[in-house]
Structure 1
Amino acid sequence: MFMCRGDVDSQLCHECIGNATQHLSSECSLSKQASIWYNECTVRYSNDSFFSVVDMMPGFYMCNTANFSNTKSFTPLLFSTMNLTADEAASDKKKFATNERVFEFQTLYCLAQCTSDLSSKVCGTCLRSAIKQLQIHCDGKLGGRFLYPSCNVRYELYPFYRSINVPSPNELAPQTKDSISKQDSRFLEDPFYLSYNCSSNHNTITSKNFNLLLSYLVSNATAGKLYHRVIMDEIVYGLFMCRGDLPSRLCVQCVTNAKDRIFSMCLSSSEGIIWYSHCLLRYSSQYFFPNIAETSPMYRDINITNHFISDQNLFTSTLSNQLSELANATGNSDERYMINSLKLNDIQTLYTLEQCTPYLSPQECISCLNDMISTQIPWSFLGSVGGRIIYPNCNMRFELFQFYIESDEARSSRNPSKEAGELFAQIGFILFL
């Protein structure tokens, strides 16, 4: 049996089922029964009949690592909306429903779905159990989902499902007109300075060792590295990370520029970070290499409107799905770097890039990127497609123009399966021997 998410069109459904069945055939060829979950579809098989019978084993959950600040008000709204969505799905012919609720200038998005062979009563029982498990495992989190073989529920603070009310699939997405992104509106060889942050703590690093640390970083960039970290005897810590598509000469140029600027700007500070379009450079007198993602200091450049957009737009749902799926792909890649392009219509193509520092674990990288999607993109005030967000450990950018290098060599070594329409995030699979 297969089930595609109720908002997914037939082409995307077919592609997702193809990926899922191929994965099952390679991983579970000797198993009597198995289930696999993707964002857009679920596939399962068994040597025992499971039609018209609710199956709540096994269960699978995922939660956003970030917490909601006002859980006292948010939790009742969340679960009342989830229960309403479950009731609507159980009574719906397609066994699928979505709902949105505005909360503190944010929009809560909820989804519930059952396999279409279930009766309304059985579907409702399955969804209520999934919601209860969601409350147990993801209480207070900014997003989460719980999946059974027969039903699933999910909520997020971004539009993860596609609008069913958009009149035309060829609707043009509004393009950014007044952000820094427009100044960097094509791939530029010269690194574009974005911002910096210096701590207010008095610097205990000597000027000599500060300069020596930065010189070490530049020398490693010159050696052809796109990422390097240094620990000096004093003790001083430093790192640089260049964008994953850059040739060495452009990485060297960016790190050199960053070194000169941060030395002049942060000489009296014990730690600092500087961001360019091509790289970031960071130093500190404190250790900052654990496998834990940091969310500050942050740089953000996104076109935000001054009015609340109540209706879900096609471009926001498409963008959020692309960013979320690319986050999973980035975290699971060896280089913690991924790009993707998706043709939106006859005129526009959406280009996205996500990257983490290599020492982050896959899950920490995914969590770092998902935190950006959930907390740093104001979806209900997003005025256009175009912008970037940079944390110390991860970054993302999305535009309606190509801002990265995409050569045949880069495609084969860094981006093996990123043709438009081929980006699917596998959630998990269970097999039984």
Structure 2
Amino acid sequence: MFGSFESHPTHKTIKALGLPTLFILLLSLSCFGHLVKAYVLIYAGCSQEKYAPNSPFEGNLNSFLSSVVSSSSQVSYDAYALGNGSSTPPEGAIYGLYQCRGDLPMFECSRCMQSAVKQIGLVCSNSYGASVQLEGCYLRYEHSNFLGSPDTTLMFKKCSRSVNNDVEFFKRRDDVLADLQSAIGFKVSSSGLVEGFSQCLGDLSSSDCSACLSDAVAKLKSLCGSAAAAGVYLGQCYARYWASGYYAELTPESSHEDDVGKTVAIIVGVLAGVVVLIVLLSVCRKTKPIVPTHKTIKALGLPTLFILLLSLSCFGHLVKAYVLIYAGCSQEKYAPNSPFEGNLNSFLSSVVSSSSQVSYNAYALGNGSSTPPEGAIYGLYQCRGDLPMFECSRCMQSAVKQIGLVCSNSYGASVQLEGCYLRYEHSNFLGSPDTTLMFKKCSRSVNNDVEFFKRRDDVLADLQSAIGFKVSSSGLVEGFSQCLGDLSSSDCSACLSDAVAKLKSLCGSAAAAGVYLGQCYARYWASGYYAELTPGAIHILDNPI
């Protein structure tokens, strides 16, 4: 039913762009590759049958695509059935779904789906059925109902170069594939230098998902043999693995025939590399640096400090999630080798392990009859809702290290990082509402800007309605809010109402502001002011939380 589609550049395209424009394009792709990779087209399929312009089907298709764009800023999966009621002609019925990759932040999910909607219109114009699989998201619609029906049709495969006689690689690969095969939804796995991920569509049952992934893993081995990297996409699931350094080989191939285009691309790439180095050094010299003391410089040495500053300036998107916003430590200390310390170590170990799979979890350890009362520990962790799972895991590893350094031997402690939160206590706090002000940050004020205040109030009103994590924007003002996962809907709503009220009362006309309460937070910023929400210094709260 479906035909495949691939797009690739030609030498005419390169010639039309010109070297200066092409260089800027290459520079953009180099610097912002993590933003555009999600939109790379892997495959597309279109039905042969076409619908008529201005038909009932076209009207419902437009409604479906509009709903996809709107919904994907809030949830990463949704399914639709439109025009299948008695009041609509049978030829108008449409069934569809979309899904983003499980580690894609919500704002990237939304952008990916916007790209998918555009591409499905270009590639499968007027088709009664179509699907597009991008690197970061999937979109499909049909005239007949396919939702929930198992489909293990091979849609696309990609195999890299082979690895021969590497026993360790094959062992690690098989460990990863065995782990991926057990996924329910989205799963990331790694073993040594081999990594991988797998995902089923949200309309599949657990048993059908398991069957689909088993088939995908079997096809990976049979079709790609000893490949160092491979990916298989079936009708309702996919699985991919790669050895370190081979991930890029899973990108769909461009034309093998366009030798002139490739030659020009190589020349431009070399030139771009030289200029990028010059621009990078120039930009980093002009960037306002973190101001170290003479003692810091002397201890690190100038070469090491330069590399550190270069890393912080040019790769900030990787480290921002780990910035410490505040920490709180109880005054009471536990004794070394006590039952409490043993349970605390178990809790922290579980947090590191669990955070690679789920973004929130709560724990109660040592509260049974077989454990001394002084050994009881209650805790939770949560990652910001737009953080990919691999970044969630790394953020929690950082939080675990920082809570041990900042609150050593404390009976109760919490750390709030830019991308995640970690807390434990000796007494049970789980589910109990807490609107204590933990931290606030207000930027410079904006005066007499009626449009700004209107946009800000629109964003705050929207953030106040969040259940869990929410992103909102109005004009040039953006924001996000989040409640901890142990709160009920009503308690979350009350917490966010308090946070928004404090934002207005404590920060007034600030162009950017953030308020963190005990169990929720809310932040907003005008375009260009987000950086002003970074704490000026680490905030340590030396009192019980």
TM-score, normalised via structure 1 length: 0.43
Greater CA radius of gyration, 1 or 2?
2
Higher relative contact order (CA 8 A, sep 6+): 1
Q: Which has the higher strand share?
A: 1
TM-score, normalised via structure 2 length: 0.35
